[in-house]
Amino acid sequence: MPMMRKQIIAAWALIGTMIGGAAPAWGQIPDCDLKTGGTAKVRSIVDGDTLVLDDGSQVRLVGTQAPKLPLSRKGFRIWPLAPEAKAALSELTLGKTVLLRYGGLRTDRHGRRLAHLFVGDKKIWVQGEMVARGLARTYSFFDNRICVRQLQAREAVARGNRLGIWKLDYYDLRVSSETKQLLKLVNSFQLVEGRVTDVAKVRGRVFLNFGQNFRNDFTAVIAPRDVKRFAGGSIDLLSLKGATIRVRGWVESFNGPAIDVTHPEQIEILK
């Protein structure tokens, strides 16, 4: 069975498990431990993952990254489908009362609320809907990881059906062996797939090497402080040798292209 079809079936299976059988409307409330944060009315939309409430506060849709607009940043090039993502978020939320729920850090360094949003008495999960439409990617931090696997399941189906951003090369899955291409993508957020050829632990730091030459090939790096987050979890870092995985994060240049992994949800085991 082709890998993409396996991923789609796995995503449907996960979603079905979450709600006890049938697959939901894509925006349906997820089965994860979120804390209620009150309600508010949406006054305006900034872009595909940020909006303004009637009290003037901004909300960043935690767990997602939509295509970016310049927003007065000099020299910033608009990402493909950024206007469409903004329009979709507007259609879902503008002028409506939303329920805010939290699963981790509640505000970022810009003072924005980091919340999951629900519209219509919790019937529509805004993050889930945006990802399912292919107008946002799953994007998480070590201090805000709730519901990430549920978003990745929706993302897998959108990607398999080539919805929204997944029709475009700009957002394509990257291959770990294409190191020259990855180096051109330094300082950008990417999803990189490949087979782990070796795993090394040096002074508490774990290196997932995707080639024979660790000085040039793609590597996923887990710092000692972050290795602890994998303890007792579903991913055993030291057993990943030979596994085909997907890593998501910001590409850096360090002995070839690399991604720093700070929490388990940045890794998906494909086979």
Q: pLDDT tens digits, residue range 146-156?
A: 999 999 999 99
Cα(106)–Cα(165) distance, rounded to whole angstroms?
Answer: 28
User: Does 197 map to a domain?
Assistant: yes
Q: Is 47:82 a contact under the CB 8 Å cutoff? A: yes
* Number of structural domains the chain divides into: 2
Residues 138 and 39 in one domain: yes
pLDDT bin (cut points 50, 70, 90) of residue 28 is: low
CA distances from 150 to 63, 94, 235 (A): 10, 24, 17
User: Does 3 map to a domain?
Assistant: no
- Containing 190, the helix (H) or strand (E) segment is strand 189-195
With a pLDDT cut of 90, the percent of the chain lying above it is 80
Tokens of 166: 């997944």
20-24, 200-204, 259-263: which range is least confident on average?
20-24
Which pLDDT value is given to residue 120? 83
Q: Which of 166, 182, 208 is the last residue of a domain?
A: 166
Q: Which of 140, 166, 192 is the last residue of a domain?
A: 166
Residue 3, pLDDT above cutoff 90: no
User: Does 1 map to a domain?
Assistant: no
User: Does 248 map to a domain?
Assistant: yes
Residues 83 and 212 in one domain: no
Q: Which of 166, 190, 222 is the last residue of a domain?
A: 166
Total residue length of the chain: 271
Q: CATH number, domain at 71? A: 2.40.50.90
Cα(24)–Cα(194) distance, rounded to whole angstroms?
Answer: 31
Give alpha helix (H) positions in the chain.
3-19, 82-93, 126-132, 148-160, 179-183, 224-227
Tokens of 233: 């979890």
Neighbours of 72 (CB within 10 A): 6
Residues 203 and 143 in one domain: no
Cα(99)–Cα(38) distance, rounded to whole angstroms?
Answer: 6
Q: CATH number, domain at 264? A: 2.40.50.140
Which pLDDT value is given to residue 100? 95
Q: pLDDT tens digits, residue range 63-112?
A: 999 999 998 888 889 999 999 999 999 999 999 999 999 999 999 999 99
Cα(105)–Cα(115) distance, rounded to whole angstroms?
Answer: 9
Cα(231)–Cα(100) distance, rounded to whole angstroms?
Answer: 31
Q: pLDDT tens digits, residue range 146-198?
A: 999 999 999 999 999 999 999 999 999 999 999 999 999 999 999 999 999 99
State the residue range of the domain holding 57. Answer: 8-166
